[in-house]
Amino acid sequence: MATFRPHQYIWIFIMGCYIGYGVETLWCLIKNGYIESRKSLVLGHLSVAYGMGALLLTLLLVHFQGKPLWQIFLLSFVTGTAVEYICSLGQEICFGSVAWDYSHLPLNINGRVCLIYSLFWGFLGMAWVKLIIPLLHLLFSHITIPFEQVILCAFLVFFVFDAALSVSAAVRMDRRDRGIPAQNQLEVFLDTHYDDETMHKIYANSKSVQTKSDS
């Protein structure tokens, strides 16, 4: 059973982030007729949910190569549903907003997960084991990247900074919604450079919990 080396998991995360961003942007263009921001962080054009999904599926399913498809489907179904629910609940608790709402779809749980997307997770898991993991092994065995360690280290430093800035901006936006004025220079900076208009452009698909309940 072939597995991946630690640094290769970072590449899997990066590929998932950028492919997810491209897919989301293209889907928005097809569905709505215009391009809208679908990135997860305020600086980089990354879709972290897709990157984490790719990483999680690989970490989980790389050990299930050769297992019956029904086991792979069930594991992916349960895991994907649980992660989706936890991410939605965590975003609402931490930032007072939600990025998706399945309340209009049948057999949903609090609008956070629904049967249709849970089935999608199951089928995606089967495709991941049979198609994506072998393809990743093929790519990693044939492609050599110059200065790979430097590139990965630079990405990680940028990603941590971007994530910290994004979380700070989201928390500050929630505090503004609750009428709390800036308490320090960092919050003044965030109010100046990441005001509500800017944040709504970056996170065009997110809605505050209050807006969701009013609609």
What percent of the chain stands above pLDDT 90?
69
Encoded tokens for 199:
């944040």
pLDDT recorded at residue 1: 61
**pLDDT tens track for 89-112:** 988 887 777 888 999 999 999 999
Beta strand pairing status for 97-98 and 207-208? antiparallel
Amino acid type, 197 = E
pLDDT recorded at residue 210: 61
| Contact by Cβ (8 Å): 205, 99 | yes
